Amino acid sequence: MAVVLIIGASRGIGLETVMTALEAGHSVRALARSARRIPVDHPKLEKMAGDALEMARVKRALTGVDVVIQSLGVSAGPEIILKPTRFFSKATRVLVTAMEEAQVKRLICVTGFGAGDLKPFLTPLPSHAARRLHLGRIAN
């Protein structure tokens, strides 16, 4: 069985991935800013508090890992619409650099942002225009 690092493990897809990996028999290191709130206790689960943008913390989390699953998300809200974010690209840059140094070669990236969060926003505008308005600043 593999040792899996899941970044963004406290909610959503990340939390579901933690539970699925544990059920499959893998050892899981769950990195999240709010790791203490992960509602799962398991002998093969290590909760690690940290920010995906902190190189030192990401490097530490990679020790002894076979595969990384990055499942970061951002909370939908007015700040996402009004201000551009580079969170996903910055965190991925930190992670890939750390993975190269640690010689970890397997990476899976997934996010659910926008998959259902924006439904209330889509009714007044055609969906393409609404997606561009609400997701355009994320995609930059």
pLDDT one-digit tens code per residue, 85-127: 678 889 999 999 999 999 999 999 987 665 555 555 555 555 5
Higher pLDDT, 123 or 55: 55
Q: What pLDDT was estimated at residue 139?
A: 47
35-42 long-range Cβ contacts below 8 angstroms, 24+ apart: 35/9, 35/10, 37/10, 38/9, 38/10, 39/15, 40/15
